[in-house]
Amino acid sequence: MKKALQALNGLERDGVIGRYAIGGAMGATFYVEPFTTFDLDVFVVLPEAGGLVTLAPLYLELAQRGYPAREECVMVEGIPVPLPARTPLLDEALAQARDVPYEDVPTRVFGPEHLVAVAVQAGRAKDRQRVQMFLDAGVLDRKRLDEILSRQGLMERFSQWTRNA
């Protein structure tokens, strides 16, 4: 992962991508017990071209740097990196991501409250399990989490998920 983060830092430094942050399962491992995951969920601000966002120049630049597209991911230093669609929640999480080191490499990670909100929004069984891991770990600022969930219209689903917990 260290090499992938160094590559992402280079892409950001060179202006190929804007600000990036780690989310998803890998982001969760910065706050809760590690678990198996096979990809690195990276959320990025992409450069705009005349008000439109097109991924073609990004994929071309990544391929020229030796990072080919494979299915819905780009392989960065051997790690599959999906390029997810933007949503208001992801934009907020990216803007408020925390600067953290991974070994000696600077990176950014979504805060735990945003990781939970994104998991609730995704709504999969594995996301529900991840939410419970965060609750059990005691790393959440519940007031902040409730504000995010309310703002994003996710409070009802979160309440259903945690009602019997």
- Residue 133: CATH number of its domain: 3.30.460.40
- Starting from the edge strand earliest in sequence, which strands make up the sheet with 73-76, in order? 69-70, 73-76, 79-82
More reliable by pLDDT, 29 or 53:
29
- Residues 79-129: pLDDT tens digits? 888 876 678 999 999 999 999 999 999 999 999 999 999 999 999 999 999
Which pLDDT does position 39 carry in this prediction? Answer: 81
Query: Considering its fold, how many domains does the chain have in total?
Result: 1
Q: Which residue range(s) make up the domain with 146?
A: 2-162
DSSP secondary structure of 11-37: HHHTTSS--EEE-HHHHHTTTS-----
